[in-house]
Structure 1
Amino acid sequence: MNQQEVARAVRRRQFLLQTAGLAGATAAFGLTGCETREDVKLDLLVASYDKSVGASIGDQWDKVVSTFEKQHAGIRINLERVPYDEIDRTLARRVEEGRAPDIAQSNIFAPYAEDGLLYDMTKLFDIVTQADFIRSFTEAGTVDSATYGIPFLASTPRLFYNKELFRRARVGGAPTSWDELRKAARALKSIGVKTPYGLQFGPEAADDEALSWLLAAGGGYMGDTAQYDFATAANTEALTWLRDEFVGEGLAGAAPAKLNRTDAYAQFLGGEIGMLIAHPVLMGAADQAKVPYAHAPFPGKDGGAAAPLGLSDWLMAFKRGGHRKECGTFLSFLYSGKSALAYGGSQSALPVTYSASDAATGNPSEQPLSAFVEQLSDAQFAPVNMRSWPAVRETIRADVGRAVTEGGEPGTVLAALDKAAAEAEVKAATS
């Protein structure tokens, strides 16, 4: 048995312990024991989703809460749903008003961690459960050497392509380099495909799309000193290539700087886009629409698989209510056994623990997820653990599209991002 198989066996043993209730029971009794106060109410603030692609994520909350309450007398969950696009603002307002929930879902956790408002993972989970979280995700949730952002509804994208359009364009298979990506896009254009590649540089998710390309060229948003560093040679070369070799040739549609993720997914399902970076949530919609698709790793600039982008929502436990033990009991339940699989292993989101990942890839009904799950350990993140990131992210979304459009200057745009990031850092330090 090689080292990888040994590690996998150890993780699977942890999963079996959890599904048998042993790990969850250890966490619960270790954190609460007989000291759990009667009739404690935990306020749980989560996001709700519309009926667009991926609407099913988060739908399991009612069942999870009901099952938890049946197994944990004396702890009641006050579940509140807020529309996804309002969750960050709602949480910020509640915290500002001194009404922070006990547990909340959000895209943002670093400011609350830096302000000392959150419990870190060591105060919530036992050692076995802490070790079961996929390391790349817990590292992304770490602020000042402690993990406060608990990964939830994880994802990592791959290159989706329409197999029928590829067949008609006589493209033999998934591109494995940027040169092959361009050749495939040219072939798709030659048969009349409206948007050979769906470059999602619109304001909805331009930061994710851009980072995928920068990672594929050996760049990124951060330098070696854990500070923002946009105007690097690798980043400049990547955006220049996109401007000249892709967008300039009409291979990314008429207006890539305006193309949002939701619209791109809809156009792929309608056969108007030949290929694009997309998350596993697109699979279910494509299956339902009977689109003949396949997916592959996003190619590195010079060949091979690029470093995959990691995305996650985050759960966090606030100190305000003084319910550390009860929060730990609920979260330990959520991330163990069948509960963990409910929030990962569907086509809406990926598991964030090794044990649930093993279970998802080992379940025949979940085999379509395997390729995505296998990318998780190597996932690279935007600097979500920096207080300034929300402001920097908005600047990227607003400005990065200008770098690849006609007349755009990638070097100038990237230098402006460095300046904006420096200003955001100063503002964050004084807020």
Structure 2
Amino acid sequence: MKGRYQSLAASGAALCLTAVTLTGCGAIGGLTGDNEVTLRVVAADYGDNPQNSSAAYWKGLAEGFQKDHPDVKVEVSVYSWSEVDAKVAEMVKAGKAPDIAQIGAYADYAAAGKLYSTAELLSVKTEADFLAPLADAGKVKQTQYGMPFVSSTRLLFYNEKLLADAGVTGKDGKGWQPKSWADLEAAAKKLKGAGVPVPFALPLGREEAQAETMMWMLAGGGGYTDNEEGYSIDSADNIKSLEFLRDKMVGQQLVGPVEPGKLDRQAAFEAFAKGEVGMLNGHPTLMKQAEAKGVKYGMVPLPTSDGSPQPAMGVADWVMAFKNGHREQSGKFLDYLYQPKNVTAFTEKYDLLPATTSGYQAKQAATNGSAAQLKPFLAALPSSRLYPVGKKSWAGVSEDIKQKIGTAVQPGGQPAKLLEEIATSARAADKG
């Protein structure tokens, strides 16, 4: 999930594919015969290598759809998360928007009047199946334009062996259960004393700084917006959260040799899978990475500033349909995309959480079996807080955070000043 949840795409090159008929990446959708329509779809890659690229999923999906709709051809281009949003922006600017895009944000396109609403596209059954918090997050001025594709929540991962060797253990033979930031700080100090290279990985680099920042803000009682959904980036709680990171984690050298502003999330995940990191925030995909390297890990909610309960961060990636004159065909394809079997196939492949009620119920049932490890992620989903993706200003605000937030937690950093600067720009953009 990009910014929100980021994919693990490693390939920089786009994977262009078409189902049934290969027509080339640059083809423009339209009538290909007397009654034949070509839908152009752009999607993000959730794989971390060419062998598990999302291209295979989309190819199968397109082929399955075309069996029932022979008059509609589907042409899909799959790009890594590092470039997919920019690719769609370039297409839109050039007047060649795809019919359907599966990317990280939709609100700016909706505000510009470029998208169909979900009511114009989907069957009643499909539209009603979205999980309510995610459907609400897909709205601009009470109208839903963004369709949640997959979702994720975050937990604190820890290396069981590293913590045990450092003398950090749970009570009564149970796993470690930190409640407050004081617990987190104490564990990080023991890990450092035991010679662990990175007691706590704090990725505030450009890849996903907005996500790591939001997790800490929520754990400190704050967040990007207030209860009225106005920007509250410079709140007292948020300032205290960054001051804790600056003074207690970075200031005491508990975050490893790479400064947070230069550490990307994927690099932190890879270091955890190598056994070099004691603790870090992660999403479900990290489970497979760690297991593949034989790392035994535990997962708990990120401790809060004072131990009181706070909501976890939830993330969703989005699907949208551009007004290209193919409303009916796009709607049929989207109804097919959100069929339970197709939702389940994708979420199981990448250990993600579904965005639909039917998918959520299926995943809940599965947590009693092979998907049991997903249970804490699922439990956090209904009450989780998402990015303010319904604001057309969010894309710019997110980029501002990515570029600047790492400096706030460095020794001598000024969290209050930086957050005020970002908040002032955010409020101005929101009004504009």
Secondary structure in structure 2 of the residue aligned to 1:151: strand
Cα distance in 2 for partners of 1:220, 1:125 equals: 33
**2:79 is the counterpart of 1:82:** yes
**2:411 is the counterpart of 1:414:** no
**2:94 is the counterpart of 1:91:** no
CA displacement, residues 95-140 of structure 1 (integer Å, 9 cap, x when unaligned): 2222211111221211211121111111222333222211221122
* CA deviation after TM superposition for structure 1 residue 53, in Å: 11
Cα distance in 2 for partners of 1:418, 1:53 equals: 40
Preserved CA contact (<8 Å) 2:199 2:277: yes
Match of 1:177 among 180, 204, 213: 180
Preserved CA contact (<8 Å) 1:155 1:310: yes
Give the corresponding residue for 1:303.
307
Match of 1:69 among 56, 66, 69: 66
Q: After superposition, where does 1:255-404 map in structure 2 within 5 Å?
A: 255-320=259-324, 322-363=325-366, 364-404=369-409
Cα distance in 2 for partners of 1:49, 1:280 equals: 12
**2:123 is the counterpart of 1:117:** no
Q: Which has the higher helix share?
A: 1
**2:217 is the counterpart of 1:214:** yes
Secondary structure in structure 2 of the residue aligned to 1:239: helix
Which deviates more from structure 2 when the two are superposed, residues 376-385 or residues 43-52? Answer: 43-52
Distance 1:279 1:53, change over 3 A: farther
Secondary structure in structure 1 of the residue aligned to 2:102: strand
**2:123 is the counterpart of 1:126:** yes
Preserved CA contact (<8 Å) 2:47 2:54: no
- Percent identical pairs in the alignment equals 37
Letter in 2 for 1:398: Q
Give the corresponding residue for 2:6.
none
Secondary structure in structure 2 of the residue aligned to 1:154: strand
Secondary structure in structure 2 of the residue aligned to 1:377: coil
Distance 1:163 1:339, change over 3 A: same
Preserved CA contact (<8 Å) 1:56 1:348: no
Distance 1:73 1:121, change over 3 A: same
Preserved CA contact (<8 Å) 2:45 2:53: no
Cα distance in 2 for partners of 1:187, 1:55 equals: 38
Preserved CA contact (<8 Å) 2:198 2:255: yes
* CA deviation after TM superposition for structure 1 residue 226, in Å: 2.3
CA displacement, residues 181-237 of structure 1 (integer Å, 9 cap, x when unaligned): 111111111111111111111121111101000001110111344222222111111
Q: After superposition, where does 1:33-52 map in structure 2 within 5 Å?
A: 38-48=35-45, 51=48
RMSD (Å) for aligned C-alpha atoms = 2.0
Cα distance in 2 for partners of 1:148, 1:114 equals: 10
Q: After superposition, where does 1:52-67 map in structure 2 within 5 Å?
A: 56-57=53-54, 59-67=56-64
Match of 2:190 among 184, 187, 202: 187
Gaps of 5+ in 1: 1-36
Which structure 1 residue ranges, 4+ long, deviate > 6 Å from structure 2? Answer: none
**2:238 is the counterpart of 1:249:** no
**2:158 is the counterpart of 1:155:** no
Q: After superposition, where does 1:10-21 map in structure 2 within 5 Å?
A: none
**TM-score (normalised: structure 1):** 0.86
Distance 1:170 1:344, change over 3 A: same
Preserved CA contact (<8 Å) 2:137 2:388: yes
Cα distance in 1 for partners of 2:49, 2:189 equals: 30
**TM-score (normalised: structure 2):** 0.85
CA displacement, residues 256-302 of structure 1 (integer Å, 9 cap, x when unaligned): 22211011011111111101001111111111111111211112222
* CA deviation after TM superposition for structure 1 residue 57, in Å: 4.6
Gaps of 5+ in 2: 1-33, 170-175
Cα distance in 2 for partners of 1:240, 1:359 equals: 42
Distance 1:347 1:41, change over 3 A: closer
